[in-house]
Structure formats: C-alpha cells, structure tokens
Amino acid sequence: MDFVRGLVVRALAGRDKGGFFTVLEASDDMAVICNGKRRSLEHPKRKKQKHLLITKTILEEGSLQTNREIRHALRPFEGKGCFPQEEATVCRNRT
C-alpha cells in the first residue's frame, strides 16, 4: 500500500515512536504526518517512510480539516496501544 493522504500510520523510530499519526502528504521517501496534538496541522512532522508502519485504515477527507477531528479519528488507535482490527493476534497479553 502506498502512502496517501489520510492513511493512519504508527511511528517506529524517534521520540514519536509508538504513536499513531495520519499522513497529510507524501513524496518519494518522506511523509508529512500529524496527530492533532503534539504534531498539529500547523506544525506537522516530516518523517522517512521507512520509520512508519502502515495500517489498513484511511481517514476520510472530512476528518482531516481540524486538529480536533484528527484527534477524534485517531482515538480508537491510541486507547488500545495496538491496531483495533488486530487486537486478538497482536495484544494477547492484554486482558
């Protein structure tokens, strides 16, 4: 899957490691990401694509308009610490 606007990704390296973000734009090897909180729409983060893990979720364009909408759309990912669709296989140690 290619990096497209609205794709939900997880940071694999850096101080943002483990956090979920959405892609705002992507080039050959870089992606501009934000999560609406520390990395807002006004101050997004440029990150190499090799440091990002792709999920199967793409957010609608309507949920990328404000920081509040982005935070709300990413909330299901942040709460569990794993991908919602892979909870049974990835997070076995959670009860």
Tokens standing for 29?
């090897």
Best CA proximity match to 47, nearest among 5, 16, 4, 81: 16
What are the φ/ψ torsions at residue 36 (nearest 5 degrees)?
80, -5
The dihedral sign for the CA sequence 39, 76, 50, 93: positive
Asked if the model's pLDDT at residue 2 lies above 50, the reply is: yes
Output the pLDDT for position 91. Answer: 43
The pTM of the full predicted model, rounded to 2 decimals, is 0.77
Asked if the model's pLDDT at residue 31 lies above 80, the reply is: yes
Report the alpha-carbon distance of residue 69 to residue 87 in Å, rounded.
24
